Chain A
Amino acid sequence: MDGQGMKRRDFIKAGLLTAAASALGPGVMKPVGLWAATPSIKGPVKVGYQAVLSGTLAGYGEFHKMGAVMAVEEINAAGGIAGQKIEMEIRDSTLAAPTAIQNVRYFVDSWGADLLAGVDSSGQALAVAPVMGQLDRVLMVTHAATEKLTEEEVFKKGVRQVFRICTPTYQDGNAAAFVAKDLPAMSWATINPKYEYGFTTWNMFKETLGKLKPGVQFTAESWAPFGTTDFRPHINTIMDAKPEGLYSVVWAGELITMMKQAKQAGLFEKIKHVMLPVGAAMDVLEGLGAEMPDNIWISGRYFFLYPDTPQNKDWVARFKKRWNHYPAYVSETAYSTMFAFKKAIEAAGSKETGPVIKALEGMELDGPAGKRVFRKEDHQAMYDVPWGLTVSSPNYPFKIMGKQIVIPAKEFFNRPPFEGDASKPPFKS
């Protein structure tokens, strides 16, 4: 083996070279981004959008796309943002965290995005947040709901670049508890997804309802892993426990399956109060059609029949005309995101990250979903989304939200500093 000596020497050489280069590396740093020297808005405003466009949830991505594309078309037709056109590119987020990171890096460093939006899963949002700090671009989250994003990443860790325009898990956990406290049910059970979203929302529901209505009992839990197609064992577990109320954040296609199987098992005759925090999603309502039972409590992050304002009605009509669909909640959040960007950039007179963040903090935005305020501390948009009971309607081929209850966001959104009981509802004032 005469090669050994040579190789060891090579090894050392390579090591030295690498070490030398690492020492040099920091010295030969790149100049700061192109935008650093630009005083006012020049060139198009580039928005990088990512949503899930492949796999079983690809339908969600399409709804994101419809909302975002429509907003870009409308804004550009009306003269753009401060005279500049919006350019948008949409990428598949695939629901995987590494892909989400790859996408934002592509958008910012290769494509030259000024602003970013989208992101579906909570895991992705939490993974992307620290990267946004590094890349220093604003990200508007339009779907991912984990409260950790705004409480931990934005408020506690100080990632100021991240904002969220959709309602977080407070809508699913806390608001549901406010509705449940007035129902004549003293025992609750759940069939929830066996991942963070399921665990968090059920805990929030239990904690808040426990405070609002002392004596209420939580009798059974059944956890369904992602991809469950047979809910019957879960349904049986719950029916055996004989609770008066059922709470479930199972969503999308799985919710459709669960509802059908629950109906066959006769669950709705036994359990009178059923709450589905994401049951008002259009894919679920359209997917179940007449099979959705009446008098089920549903909610979402926006419902197209609320608020009952001319602005919302007009938007829903235009959306229906453009895409031949009723807008899903992600369509509304994607649509409003573009208008939030427009308002912030025009107020700041710049599309640079710093001024845009300043403009967005505390900004009011009128959109189809009504008036939103981006809370300064945690960058969470505060707006009201109703809870309501399903009902048939001659105007629609699916069940809609009948009796609507609106709990004001400020009554049930956790409050800064997000520590201890004082940060969680119910609040004294």
Chain B
Amino acid sequence: MSTRSRKASAGLHITLVFASVIAVFPVAWVALTSLKTDRATWTRPEKLGTLGVSNYTQVLGETRFLTWFGNSLVVAAGTTVLGVLIAASAGYAASRMRFPGKRPLMWTFLVTQMFPAAVLIVPLYNVMSDLGLLDSYGGLILAQCTIAVPYCAWMLKGYFDTIPVSIDEAGRIDGLSPLGTFWRLIVPLARPGISVTVFYSFITAWGEVAFASVFMQSEGHYTLPIGMATFVSDFKAEWGLLTAGSVLVMLPAAAVFFLVQRHLVAGLTAGGVKS
């Protein structure tokens, strides 16, 4: 590209700085508010008051934030493990073999991963209630699997498609069973794809709101979004707790995100349609 004039260059940087400020400001504002220790200053943008970490000690020590954090971890990990495990073998079969029922199966993956929770939530609620699975980790994990399984299967099939079939054939000639080929050759080769799938289904389940808000009814079982929503309602506004909690949630999420984001874009545009 030809050298830019001074003016054009300044315009470019001004636009980018402006956009960056908009991108960063809300996060920075939450972080700043979380350090304001004076209740009265939470909703007084022009005042700082004294800064400190008392909001953090309060959210960690006096609320059930850590319980909710743990619940979110359990549910997200359970959903991811279950989803990826069973989806991987189906994704491999769909990628490598021809069998009657394959087309309808792929069609089902495509359609069900578009289903929002609203489509299934009422009947699932009734089913879970009949089975006594409401307000339990197991029930929520199963419900989240309706999102994770089709999505993982679709993504993983896409990844397996990019691995040359000649590798399978070599494995077969060396006497491996199809399952052995899959487990010993393809899974190690597909590790980058699998890790992105794991990350994405984990994050999706972790922040899921619709199922979690209906299925988890007792405070001790809330996940993070549901529990943290109780800090600020029509009747109270514990902005200090909410912002401190938000920062504690954001830090690990952002750290992992920046590690995997390059693979994430490739994975999503190549194979998935799931949010």
Chains A and B belong together in one complex: no
B residues bordering A, Cβ < 8 Å?
Answer: none
